Amino acid sequence: MKDGMLEFSDWPMFDLLMTDKELCREVIEIILDESIADIEYIVTEDDVRPILTNHGVRLDAFVKTKNEIYDIEMQTTKREDLGRRMRYYQGALDTLTLRKGEGYEELPPCIIIFICMHDPFDEGLPVYTLDVNCLEKPSARIGHGFLWKALSAPAWDKLPEGRLQNLLHYVWTGEAGEDPLTGQLAVAVKKANKNENWRKEKMALLTFEEDMEIQRRIAEKKGQERGQIIGLQMGLEQGLAEGLEQGLAEGREHGLAEGREQGLAEGRAEAASEVASLMALLLGAERLDDARRAAVDESYRDELMREFGISQAE
């Protein structure tokens, strides 16, 4: 996000542009270096939870063609567990697409793509293609029907000249260059940012997500140093209020933007409330997708409160 404008790599903008079938199709084709069938439908910002009590996943862009399914994710935050994250996404997608009574042969081919604003596995590669092979005999045909790809946008210059290099260069720098697709993406980004109401609404959500991530890191650090993580895990309101109070103060000392000071102060004042308790539990469980949705969806927030046994005021 630059100068109050959303970029292609910001999830609200990415999700919006991926609803355009032609843009989405071309992005997939460039990443896979092959043609795909016509897209039947695209679902963005979709929450997948096989069972209510299970950890959910929020899909940036779920894409269905006649014979295949694709999931395209924009990953801006460095996470050490990306491999397991992709594994969980694969399981959730399989559960979503296989109906009751269908055999496993009905599972469609599935490709999961993560476009990362960092090196996901710290090996210096621009593209990581992950597959399941037989260690004893790599030529054995497993027939599992899925493929994972993780792209490192900062390593765009390690790719040979071509459209994939152009795409990752645009993701990383925001500079469209001469490529037809990146030019179209840049135009679409500019057009979307001109929609003032949409932009402000999505920026508020993006800012909330960033604040939640900051608070999660602060809470973890304070927990390691002073044992406050125990208070978070047990849902003790006093421990939560003290941990957030100290953590947020420390965060300001280390340079949190002054423009957020009032909002953070209000957050401290409500830290012992039922909503703050819910957010703390979600953060402790690393359920950031659920926390983001609960912030804007009252009915979903009530559902989560029931799940965690948090009493709700009449």
User: Rounded to the nearest 5°, which phi and psi values hold at 206?
Assistant: -65, -40
Q: Which of 14-18, 57-61, 221-225, 304-308 has the highest mean pLDDT?
A: 14-18
Residue range 77-89: mean pLDDT, rounded: 87
pLDDT at 210 over 80: no
C-alpha–C-alpha distance, residues 314 and 308, integer Å: 17
Q: What pLDDT, on a 0 to 100 scale, did the predictor assign at position 52?
A: 44
Q: What pLDDT, on a 0 to 100 scale, did the predictor assign at position 53?
A: 44
Tokens of 18: 């991926």
Q: What pLDDT, on a 0 to 100 scale, did the predictor assign at position 229?
A: 46
pLDDT at 21 over 60: yes
User: Rounded to the nearest 5°, which phi and psi values hold at 143?
Assistant: 70, 30
Tokens of 210: 């960033």
pLDDT at 286 over 80: no
Q: What pLDDT, on a 0 to 100 scale, did the predictor assign at position 4?
A: 72
C-alpha–C-alpha distance, residues 217 and 289, integer Å: 16
- Average pLDDT of the chain, as a whole number: 80
Band the pLDDT of 199: cuts 50, 70, 90. Answer: confident
pLDDT at 113 over 70: yes
Residue range 75-101: mean pLDDT, rounded: 87
Q: What pLDDT, on a 0 to 100 scale, did the predictor assign at position 59?
A: 84
Q: What pLDDT, on a 0 to 100 scale, did the predictor assign at position 108?
A: 93
Q: Which residues 6+ apart lie within 8 Å of 153 measured at CB?
A: 9, 115, 116, 117, 118, 168, 171, 172
- Name the pairing type of β-strands 110-116 and 146-152: parallel
Tens of pLDDT, residue by residue over 117-146, are 999 999 999 999 999 999 999 999 999 999
Find out whether 282 and 290 touch, Cβ atoms under 8 Å.
yes
C-alpha–C-alpha distance, residues 295 and 246, integer Å: 23
pLDDT at 31 over 90: yes
Band the pLDDT of 49: cuts 50, 70, 90. Answer: low
Tokens of 46: 């979709």
Residue 277's closest CA among 314, 244, 300, 252?
A: 244
Band the pLDDT of 2: cuts 50, 70, 90. Answer: low
HEC secondary structure over 79-90: CCCHHHHHHHHH
Band the pLDDT of 269: cuts 50, 70, 90. Answer: very low
Q: What pLDDT, on a 0 to 100 scale, did the predictor assign at position 213?
A: 57
C-alpha–C-alpha distance, residues 104 and 101, integer Å: 10
Band the pLDDT of 259: cuts 50, 70, 90. Answer: very low
Looking at per-residue confidence, does 242 or 39 come out higher? 39
